Amino acid sequence: MASFPLVTTLLILFPFLFSTLVYGYSLSSIKSWCNQTPYPQTCEYYLTNNAYNQTIKSKSDFFKVSLQLAIQRARKGEENTHSLGSKCRNAQEKAAWADCLELYDFTVQKLTQTTHPNCKQTDSQTWLSTALTNLETCKNGFYDLGVTNYVLPLMSNNVTKLLSNTLSLNKVPYQKPSYKDGFPTWVKPGDRKLLQTSSAASKANVVVAKDGSGKYTTVKAATDAAPSGSGRYVIYVKAGVYNEQVEIKAKNVMLVGDGIGKTIITGSKSVGGGSTTFRSATVAVVGDGFIGQDITFRNTAGGANHQAVAFRSGSDLSVFYRCSFEGYQDTLYVHSERQFYRECNIYGTVDFIFGNAAVVLQSCNIIARNPPQKTITVTAQGRTDPNQNTGIIIHNSKVTAASDLNPSSVKSYLGRPWQKYSRTVFIKTSIDGFINPAGWLEWSGNFALDTLYYAEYGNTGAGSSTSNRVSWKGYHVLTSASQATPFTVGNFIAGNSWLPGTGVPFTAGL
């Protein structure tokens, strides 16, 4: 019998030692760390079979490794998505595929941001939440258009489970971000004066006017040409109706009009017309630091065409002031990131405020229109993971019925759980009597009723009584200020840290 060198014999007999030599940590150590995550088997598989040669000595080390694994798999998912292009058989498949290309690109960008040495844990939680939302949106696009048989399995690479693991490791109590002079880095000192006055339009960088009196005649041309710099770039859109579809990718853009009902950007894309929900938006913004003011955003597809978005925001630290969002189903898509709406109007029928951002709507008018399905749901929040720092908060606002709505012929609800961990809170809001006494509607049977978080605090009006509300485990009537305070502007979206620089009024507390 041939003799083997001692090291070779040990490697054959003791794969445990082999793992330790190659990866720098033992399989038992990997198992111990991975058992702290929601998906330990996925964690063990990728940690054991990866070339990372790191010793995990602390939770911080484990988070960094988990994040790198998630980035690696997200890039692989992006590669896989690119390869699907040749397999798309029709326009519907190509439409959903195109969404995924963009969403995977955004995901890799957000995950890369999270690796920055100066990234705070609260920012990390936002961007990890967004990454997970992006992948869910990619999948939903295929479902929107009925493409489910062969494309989706090709896109499965466990990146969502790795992201959930990383989210769970990063979850920390709120820590207030520190910005120089109390303002975010994208606000120049001179911008504060500009944004705190009504002179934004007169001091615009460029003007859009249909009559040719500005530099551009379309909003799209102006936003496509906007530079993505550290300073505020103001685009003034004169009164008029602009029938176009716009996506704003540059950072720090301010879009200001002549007022609600005067400057109108309108479109009619819809799922019924062959678009995905994501791509149906008349106006979409993904560049961070966006401000919209004194504009109407509209989708005229109508209730019969199902999902038809008037505005979609995936812009971090975005603000909307004195704007109107007008549509039917899925009017306002608060897709992801941190957002704030003040003194805005939102019109719709079904799920007309929906998405998975961390968003507060304050001093807004929420107006229910007559739906073809005879059922109204104001909100549909999309949190898929319990560690996402997302939710829809409606504070000091009004929920009313439009003049065309006959309350006796329609059943109306504050919301329904689009996803398993749906989170929506109404605080000190006037709720009219057209809202059903149950308050909230099931999505499908018992789905999410134990895992959602729906709450009401200090609301008024004929529809605000909680005496006959649903008895779900996830529904809560908040009875003290301390219970409601985590959902205020100051806490939920850290508004004191970045909203002062926008010049938009806000109430930080209850």
List residues with catalytic annotation. 351
> Which strands form 318-321's sheet, in the order they lie side by side?
206-208, 233-237, 253-256, 291-293, 318-321, 338-342, 358-362, 391-395, 423-427, 453-457, 475-477
Q: Rounded to 10 degrees, what is the CA torsion of 493, 276, 245, 88?
A: 130
Nearest Cα residue to 364 out of 391, 411, 332, 408: 332
Is there a contact between 278 and 99 (Cβ–Cβ < 8 Å)? yes
Is there a contact between 317 and 184 (Cβ–Cβ < 8 Å)? yes
Question: Which residues, other chains included, contact 298 with Cβ-Cβ below 8 Å and sequence gap of 6+?
Answer: 264, 265, 266, 267, 282, 310, 324, 325, 326, 327
Task: Count how many residues are written for the chain.
Answer: 510
- Give me the residues paired with residue 457 across strands: 427
Q: DSSP string of 341-361?
A: EES-EEEESEEEEEES-EEEE
| Rounded Cα–Cα distance for residues 258 and 238 (Å) | 6
Per DSSP, the three-state class of 54 is coil
Is there a contact between 345 and 367 (Cβ–Cβ < 8 Å)? yes
Per DSSP, the three-state class of 502 is helix
Is there a contact between 310 and 369 (Cβ–Cβ < 8 Å)? no
| Rounded Cα–Cα distance for residues 103 and 119 (Å) | 22
| Rounded Cα–Cα distance for residues 153 and 341 (Å) | 38
Question: Burial level of 41, CB count in 10 A (0-12/13-18/19+)?
Answer: exposed
Per DSSP, the three-state class of 61 is helix
